[in-house]
Amino acid sequence: RQCSSETYLLHAAVQEVVHSLQPVLSKMPQFVHVLDRMVEPERVIIFRVPWVDDKGEAHVNRGFRVQFNQALGPYKGGLRFHPSVNLSVMKFLAFEQTLKNSLSSLSLGGAKGGSDFDPKGKSENEIVRFCQSFMEELYRHIGPNQAPIFDTPLGDIGVGPREIGYLFGQYRRLTSQYEGMLGAKGVQWGPSNLRPEATGYGVVFYAKEVLADLYKDLKGLRCVVSGAGKVATCVLEKLITFGAIAVTISDSRGYLLDDEGFDYGKLALLRNIKIHNKSLRDYTKSYPRAKYFNDSKPWSVKCDVAFPCATQNELNHADAMALVNAGCQVVIEGANMPCTSEAIEVFRQSKIVFGPGKAANAGGVAIQGLEMLQNTHRVQWTPEDVDNKLQETMKDIYQKSLKAANDFGIVKSNPEALVHGANIAGFLQVAQAMLEQGCV
């Protein structure tokens, strides 16, 4: 996590886990060589994605699918379309996904995929052509019929319902299989209710558990949120439901501060602004008391709880110091690894309670596992049922992390207990399965 370059992201993610595992490896040395193998992906697929734009010009992007670990079950992990995507980003995300899926209590392995394609500014037809070309190769490496590979991509940065829909259509066309296996979001063709919301809602349910143990309730707490995508807006929505005062949202261009707090009407406006790829500044036309800050991050805004929900390494040492000065007491990661290790060190020293992404944002994958059950039986649970199951799941993940930490002498009052506990609990399940399978 100390590395600013994307090249070292996997190393940073592994370092953090190794740090957490010190007490485990000294008690259970049989897992040392398992860890050596676990940090290497089982399989990496890199492929060319040629496509033609609306002017007839040819382009080529690079596609990835990293199948990291299948010891616990079928590979599962999202697809990301963003210019920053490279092999290092894919590997780190797939490694994190492996531990996250392990924590979710469902039998799922870890994977990640994507492309350095940028969907921003592309026409609908260009997106269709790119997705079809991407699937032209990916379909060979996913699906339940290709033992031993059973791989189910979901959404991530730059991949939402639209992209998943086009990918699914092409997969179905190429394979004649109708499996609802892409984590798609049009409810009429497969996925669970609340699937799009599950990650963001789950983050807030997890925060609720953390706060309950601090004898606090979300109601009335000031929260800062970064990002304005699928995770961030659903975090915002659930915060509003629980009566929290969510005051910021941000994107790659800047952040927006509404000191009065967002409500459902304001959130609808924000979603509309983002759907049309407009600036968050436009919000101030309707709410002139709100302020927009170009090229800035929201971490110096006074708050009780912070939710970084944009991207990896978005919150560094200086940002963490700013959060401390702003009175923040709890940080819950909505994105994957948004806080650098230096930021986490600041939280530790300042006794800020820190909830890591691999636990806090595991709600999406947990619901996806349950979705496989619904699809198999061709039933669909109501949104209320799914919401309840998601709450139970996040509570379970929180408690499992605390128990794992406690089993190895890390007490609940340690501000890093949730990080170490999540890493230990996630690791032990995968490591045990690998040992039992001959460590392959």
Stretch that binds ligand NDP, among 51-59, 60-68, 168-176, 334-342 (CB under 6 A): 334-342
Binding mask 182-201 for ligand NDP (x = CB under 6 A): -----------------x--
Q: Does 4 bind ligand NDP (CB under 6 A)?
A: no
- Select from 91, 92, 97, 104 the least CA-distant residue to 44: 91
What backbone torsions phi and psi does residue 251 show, to the nearest 5 degrees? Answer: -145, -165
88 contacts ligand NDP (rule: CB under 6 A): no
Residue nearer to ligand NDP on the CB measure, 49 or 335: 335
Q: Which is nearer to ligand NDP, 104 or 250 (CB)?
A: 250
For residues 305 and 328, the answer to whether their CB atoms sit within 8 Å is: yes
Q: Give the interface segment with ligand NDP, choosing from 162-170, 185-193, 212-220, 223-231 (CB under 6 A).
A: 223-231
Does position 228 interact with ligand NDP (CB under 6 A)? The reply is yes
Q: Residue 151 carries which DSSP code?
A: E
Residue 281, token pair as written in the block = 């500044």
What b-and-e string marks burial along 99-138, b requiring 16 or more CB atoms within 10 Å of the CB?
Answer: bbbbbbbbbbbbbbbbbbbebeebeeebbbbbbbbbbbeb
> Min. distance of Cβ 156 from ligand NDP in angstroms?
5
What's the burial of 269, exposed, middle or buried (CB within 10 Å: 0-12/13-18/19+)?
A: middle
From 76, 100, 112, 297, the catalytic residue: 112
Residue from 34, 49, 182, 310 touching ligand NDP (CB under 6 A): that is 310
Distance linking the first and last C-alpha atoms of the chain: 28
Asked whether position 253 contacts ligand NDP by CB under 6 A, the answer is yes
Angle at 263 between CA 260 and CA 265, to 5 degrees: 125
The stretch near ligand NDP (CB under 6 A) out of 31-39, 172-180, 184-192, 332-340 is 332-340
Residues 6+ apart with CB under 8 A from 76: 97, 101, 108, 109, 110, 111, 151, 152, 154, 365, 368, 369
CB 313 within 8 A of CB 287: no
Q: Is 83 or 220 the residue whose CB approaches ligand NDP more closely?
A: 83
Candidates 56-64, 155-163, 174-182, 395-403; binding stretch for ligand NDP (CB under 6 A): 155-163
The yes or no reply on residue 239 touching ligand NDP (CB under 6 A) is no
Site string for ligand NDP, 395-414 (x = CB under 6 A): --------------------
368 touches ligand NDP by CB under 6 A: no
User: Considering the rule CB under 6 A, would residue 170 count as an interface residue with ligand NDP?
Assistant: no
426 binds ligand NDP (CB under 6 A): no
| Cα–Cα distance for residue pair 202/208, rounded to 1 Å | 10
Q: Does 235 bind ligand NDP (CB under 6 A)?
A: no
Please confirm, yes or no, whether 112 is among the known catalytic residues. yes
Catalytic residues: 112
